[in-house]
Amino acid sequence: MKSQIRPEPSRLSKTFETGQLIAAIAAFVIVGCVMLAYEFVSLRQALVKDVEIEAAIVADNISASVMFEDHDASMETLRAFRPDPSLLSVTVYDRAGFLYAQYLTRNAAPPPEPSAAAFQWLSSTITVHQEIRYRGHQLGVVEFVASTADVRTGILRFAGLLGIASLGAMLVAALVMRRARARMDKAERELDYLAHTDPVTDLANRRATYETLERAMEVHARADRRLALLLIDLDNFKGVNDTAGHGAGDRLLRQVGATLVSVVRKHDVVGRIGGDEFAVIAAPVRDNAEALAIAERITEALRRPFHVDGIDMLATASVGISMFPDDATALTELVSNADIALYQAKVSGKNRLAEFRPEMTLRTQRRVRLERDLRKAMERGELDVYYQPQFRCDSERMVGVEALLRWPHPENGFIAPSEFIPVAEECGLIGELGRWVLLRACSDAASWLRTTGVALNVAVNVSARQLRDGDFIDAVRHALHDTGLAATQLELELTESLLMEDMDSAMEFMHAVRHLGVRLAIDDFGTGYSSLSYLQSFPINQLKIDRSFIQLLPDAGTTIAGAIISLAHGFNLCVVAEGVENRAQLDWLQRAGCDLVQGYLLARPIRAQDISAMLTRKRAQEDAVTS
């Protein structure tokens, strides 16, 4: 497979085997030599002992014949040793040292030359002397000369046997080692495969991908050529894993991997570098346009649904591109730039691609800082909830409020929710943040009722990520229970795009909310899908016309605003106009029969205690009028 990193065959086992073989041979040689030397000494000593015994026997038996100088009898005694095959000669010298009698065998050679003691061990004969005595008187000396040929033959035979045994043993050892080496080779290959391959997709894993990238960067730097690193992140893989299970998730990843391999060029490398993150090393590329074309082919291919376990699954992806050497010359920088580009692709709406640009780094740094500060602010309780009043359009009487998050940053002043809410969504803080706002809003509304007797509706914004977390409905139930607020006083604001993203779970959530008695509003109406048909099927209570339409009033935008109002009324929905900034806008809305208004003209978002004060003031005014 093109995307796999095939390891070079390791020489470790070969080196190991050769070393062992040499050691085994050396051991055999040393042991063989020691055994041969021992055998030689034993055989030679046995021969010497035999000859010494023979010499003693001759010396005993020959003493009488020597004493009486019976030559024939002496020769008879000597010849008695004829059957001894190693015997060369037996010689008897008289007391004066003169030759008295000698028996020579057929093999007898001239008497050996006297040699140095060290070499006597190796000489081809041995000589033994024995005195001939009779009653304490020395009569002469008998000399035995024997051949060591038998010792040599014995040693040769022994060496032959030893050689054959050693060869056999080495053969067995070599066979055993060969099998051990085959097993070791296999284990090494398996280890290498595991270390470099992602088991789910069979693609290069993170380590192997970056190793390949490093090598490719070196090669392309020398050849003065460009390469592109593409990081690919699936947009909704967590959802697939959560709903269809990990098995289906793995099968989807395998298909995505295979698709990537099929759309890149033959020599490009595809690797899986994280849960739902892939990398493509496109090398070489002529220019950005070529890299972009590959990235487009990837996003295009991943837009088509994947067939997993009998169902069609969507696995759209975001792609970040970084070029070598244009964007970075070092590996970590190249990867980090591709990551920054990927991040930009994600935050600008997913299912798209982004090329790295230097200014992205600043934006990302600011975002990272923002995330860190937001965590701190939440821990320290620095966040606050402000409330923007909503009024009846006809009587201009305050009937509700919208809860809006406020973050007074200790250094940078107020940070707009439109800036930090997406960060909270991205880093997963939104769940905690959303639950906190909900609880604050419910408890403030409950306390206004307790202290002023006015039951204000309170609207809370809910973002897409909060719905996806699944336990938001429990948070709503707990907030109502813990604060004692009537469910009918709470309203949740959802955006159109949020509802269209995952229609089934949104529908389920809306029905669960309505079942509790909580009201639902569609926020920023008209800016999303503008599909009016769903107004019929969604269990909602209220529409909020987006500020962008209200701003056009009263000179323009009247057709759209008018149509929305009458359409909503047709479906029995309450209509809120948000962002009302001047009297002319309010006048037009009053004439058009809009139900509620919200905007800077009548009130800006203010603190909970200011709402409380406002209600108390109104109450006092009303009491004064009635009394």
Q: Which is nearer to ligand C2E, 109 or 416 (CB)?
A: 416
Token representation of residue 613: 């004060």
Q: Which of 305, 300, 11 is nearest to 184 (CA)?
A: 11
Say which DSSP state 556 is in: S
DSSP string of 312-331?
EE---EEEEEEEETTT-SSH
Per CB under 6 A, 524 contacts ligand C2E = yes
Q: Which of 12, 25, 368, 416 binds ligand C2E (CB under 6 A)?
A: 416
Q: How far apart are CA 498 and CA 227, in angstroms?
A: 39
Token representation of residue 94: 């008289």
DSSP three-state, residue 12: helix
| Nearest-approach distance from CB 518 to ligand C2E, in angstroms | 16
Scanning 110-118, 412-420, 480-488, 552-560 for contacts with ligand C2E by CB under 6 A, the matching segment is 412-420
Q: Which is nearer to ligand C2E, 143 or 578 (CB)?
A: 578
Q: Which is nearer to ligand C2E, 400 or 605 (CB)?
A: 605
Tell me, residue by residue from 359 to 388, as one string, x for binding to ligand C2E by CB under 6 A and - for no binding.
-----------------------------x
Q: Which is nearer to Ca ion, 367 or 544 (CB)?
A: 544
Per CB under 6 A, 611 contacts ligand C2E = no
Give the CA distances from residue 163 to residues 153, 173, 626, in Å, rounded to whole numbers and listed in that order. 15, 15, 128
Q: Which of 7, 417, 422, 562 binds ligand C2E (CB under 6 A)?
A: 417
Q: Which of 227, 353, 393, 405 binds ligand C2E (CB under 6 A)?
A: 405
The angle subtended at Cα 582 by Cα 577 and Cα 586, nearest 5°, is 45
The angle subtended at Cα 243 by Cα 237 and Cα 244, nearest 5°, is 85
C-alpha 359: how far from chain center: 31
Q: Which is nearer to ligand C2E, 105 or 461 (CB)?
A: 461
| Nearest-approach distance from CB 420 to ligand C2E, in angstroms | 9
134 phi, psi to nearest 5 deg: -135, 120
Burial of residue 320 (number of CB atoms within 10 Å: 0-12, 13-18, 19+)? buried
Q: Which is nearer to ligand C2E, 145 or 377 (CB)?
A: 377
Q: Name residue, tokens 């909602």.
A: 540
Q: Which is nearer to ligand C2E, 323 or 479 (CB)?
A: 479
The crossing angle, in degrees rounded to 10, of helices 358-380 and 430-452 is 40
| Binding positions for ligand C2E, 298-327, rule CB under 6 A | none
Per CB under 6 A, 257 contacts ligand C2E = no
| Nearest-approach distance from CB 241 to ligand C2E, in angstroms | 25
Q: Which is nearer to ligand C2E, 326 or 524 (CB)?
A: 524
- Where on the chain is the footprint of Ca ion (CB under 5 A)? 461, 493, 523-524
Q: How far apart are CA 119 and CA 113, in angstroms?
A: 12
| Nearest-approach distance from CB 237 to Ca ion, in angstroms | 30
| Nearest-approach distance from CB 384 to ligand C2E, in angstroms | 11
Scanning 36-44, 45-53, 79-87, 460-468 for contacts with ligand C2E by CB under 6 A, the matching segment is 460-468
Number of residues located near ligand C2E, criterion CB under 6 A: 22
Q: Name residue, tokens 């206004």.
A: 448
| Nearest-approach distance from CB 431 to ligand C2E, in angstroms | 11
Instruction: Please tell me the number of Cα atoms within 13 Å of 146 on its side-chain side.
Output: 27
Q: How far apart are CA 550 and CA 233, in angstroms?
A: 39
What spatial distance separates the first Cα and last Cα of the chain, rounded to whole Å? Answer: 90
Q: Which is nearer to ligand C2E, 257 or 389 (CB)?
A: 389
421 binds, among ligand C2E, Ca ion, none (CB under 5 to 8 A by kind): ligand C2E
Question: Before 325, cis peptide (omega within 30)?
Answer: yes
Scanning 206-214, 234-242, 401-409, 561-569 for contacts with ligand C2E by CB under 6 A, the matching segment is 401-409
Residue 365's H or E segment, with its range, is helix 358-380
Q: What are the residues whose beta carbons fall under 8 Å from the beta carbon of 446, sequence distance 6 or more?
A: 483, 484, 485
Per CB under 6 A, 557 contacts ligand C2E = no
Instruction: Please tell me the number of Cα atoms within 13 Å of 505 on its side-chain side.
Output: 16
240 binds, among Ca ion, ligand C2E, none (CB under 5 to 8 A by kind): none
| Nearest-approach distance from CB 404 to Ca ion, in angstroms | 8
Q: How far apart are CA 390 and CA 448, in angstroms?
A: 15
| Nearest-approach distance from CB 491 to ligand C2E, in angstroms | 12
| Binding positions for ligand C2E, 569-588, rule CB under 6 A | 578-581
Q: Which is nearer to Ca ion, 271 or 605 (CB)?
A: 605
| Binding positions for ligand C2E, 418-447, rule CB under 6 A | 418, 421, 437
Q: Name residue, tokens 């029995």.
A: 572
Burial of residue 206 (number of CB atoms within 10 Å: 0-12, 13-18, 19+)? middle
Say which DSSP state 124 is in: S
Q: How far apart are CA 216 and CA 2, in angstroms?
A: 15
Per CB under 6 A, 140 contacts ligand C2E = no
Q: Which is nearer to ligand C2E, 24 or 427 (CB)?
A: 427
| Nearest-approach distance from CB 373 to Ca ion, in angstroms | 24
Q: Which of 267, 394, 600, 622 binds ligand C2E (CB under 6 A)?
A: 600
Q: Which is nearer to ligand C2E, 198 or 578 (CB)?
A: 578
Q: Which stretches of the chain bind ligand C2E, using CB under 6 A?
A: 388, 403-405, 416-418, 421, 437, 461-463, 523-524, 547, 578-581, 599-600, 605
